[in-house]
Structure 1
């Protein structure tokens, strides 16, 4: 039986940070190691919430799309900041992030359910961020024609996605890590958005229904 992590968002941020740090360290030439971070009172202070991974470095403030609850990208330890500053792995690093999430949070749903949930979660995120496909969920996007998309379609990319139970066999949450360029031209990766689903029975078949964003 898999125990759901007490703080899944913190787990996601920590896992993504470790994945990107691993990619960055692979590019360091042999014989060169990052300088050890200097201890300071700020670095020894524990973070007070999951949205602040480190008190030593303030998280970046990310622009939000309508309904897309992006979490600030995790700040790197001081020793890794030069390597991680560009977030420059692009699509080449997405597979590592995906594998890291799967390894850190073991699957607890049937494979068919997880595929369905991830497919729908990806489509919902794309609709919310770029406007593409909003008409497929009129109950979730009733004002789709009045609200302009917050992110450019050409610069939108889903980096990783996993679906896990949400404290109940009939509830699930899809965690998506993504990158995008907003209308102001600012590109940011390692954004995190969650979509929650509830399983219902219609005509004898189980269906996962997305829940409105709150």
Structure 2
């Protein structure tokens, strides 16, 4: 009876140690088992997702039997630019510029509308650059006697090419003009670009194309 109090603490201590060791073993076993799952063979890498690049999109389009739109557009623009005559070519190169404009912007207006717009666009450009005919459009140029002096000489002014096209709707149009001229200082430059915008307005007899103020 006198030894029982001594054994009890020893038994409790022994049991505690056993439980602690068992707990350590249980905590260690999952890590040991999971190690093979997380380890990888030498040289192996996790898959990485990359965004599609222009080149990969182009290859995908070629695989589907179609060419990428960006490449086609760039090629067309490069071809058009290389087909233009050099600066200073003179009247001989105007026809090439006209053809280039027509190829870049196919016609989308009725022939009669296009003709009227081209006449008005050419006259407006001439009036704006040289001062000739400004009295026809007082709303745009004001009083001819008080208007700003023309910036370009009449003698060397030349319209090289012009087209008229819709501008976003059937009731709007733009006349795109390429021209050449010498300023008051005598500097001559060709292939200048000017756009005149028009709006279709109703009249008693139908409608007319009205030039819009330049901003």
Which TM bucket (shorter chain)? 0.5 to 0.7
Say whether 1:158 aligns with 2:164: no
Q: Which structure has more RCO (C-alpha within 8 Å, separation ≥ 6)? A: 1
Where does 1:123-202 land on structure 2 (aligned, <5 Å)? Answer: 123-146=123-146, 147-202=148-203
Q: 1:198 to 1:93 in 2, by over 3 A?
A: same
State how far apart, in whole Å, the 1-side matches of 2:83 and 2:120 are: 25
Say whether 1:106 aligns with 2:170: no
State how far apart, in whole Å, the 2-side matches of 1:128 and 1:17 are: 28
TM-score w.r.t. length of structure 2: 0.61
Aligned length: 138
Unmatched 5+ stretches in structure 2? 1-76
TM-score w.r.t. length of structure 1: 0.61
Q: Name the larger-Rg structure.
A: 2
Q: 1:179 to 1:112 in 2, by over 3 A?
A: same
Q: 1:129 to 1:94 in 2, by over 3 A?
A: same
Bigger helix fraction: 2
Q: Indicate if the aligned counterparts of 1:16 and 1:190 stay in contact, CA closer than 8 A.
A: no
Q: 1:113 to 1:102 in 2, by over 3 A?
A: same
Q: Indicate if the aligned counterparts of 1:170 and 1:198 stay in contact, CA closer than 8 A.
A: yes
State how far apart, in whole Å, the 2-side matches of 1:110 and 1:160 are: 19
Structure-2 residue corresponding to 1:67: none
State how far apart, in whole Å, the 2-side matches of 1:176 and 1:16 are: 17
State how far apart, in whole Å, the 1-side matches of 2:211 and 2:157 are: 22
State how far apart, in whole Å, the 2-side matches of 1:115 and 1:191 are: 22
Structure-1 residue corresponding to 2:119: 119
Q: Indicate if the aligned counterparts of 1:15 and 1:100 stay in contact, CA closer than 8 A.
A: no
Deviation at 1:18, TM superposition (A): 3.3
Q: Indicate if the aligned counterparts of 2:135 and 2:143 stay in contact, CA closer than 8 A.
A: no
Structure-2 residue corresponding to 1:18: 82
Unmatched 5+ stretches in structure 1? 1-12, 24-83
Structure-2 residue corresponding to 1:93: 93
